[in-house]
Amino acid sequence: MTADPGEGPHVRQLLGAYVLDALTSGETHRVCRHLRECDGCTADYVVIAEAAALLGLVSEADLLGE
């Protein structure tokens, strides 16, 4: 993996859908390939994946303030 030089097509806009397994197979392949090469997008992926995992811990009562 290399440092993100800030150039080229990054995949940050696709990361939320990637974490939720909501991309097409082509998009998924693109994101996987990019994450192997870009430290910046990989760091963003980790943050988004952790946030998505935490959402599973929130109950309906928590959301309604009960």
Instruction: Please list, in sequence order, all residues whose beta carbon lies within 8 angstroms of the beta carbon of residue 17, skipping any fewer than 6 positions away.
Output: 23, 27
> Looking at the whole model, is its pTM more than 0.85?
no
Q: State the pLDDT at residue 22.
A: 97
34 or 1: which leads in pLDDT? 34
Q: Specify if 2 maps to a domain.
A: no
41 or 8: which leads in pLDDT? 41
Q: Specify if 55 maps to a domain.
A: yes
Q: State the pLDDT at residue 55.
A: 87
The total domain count for the chain is 1
Q: Mean pLDDT, to the nearest integer, of 41-49?
A: 96
Q: Mean pLDDT, to the nearest integer, of 2-20?
A: 76
Statement: residue 4 has pLDDT above 70: no
The domain in which residue 21 lies consists of: 12-64
Q: Specify if 50 maps to a domain.
A: yes
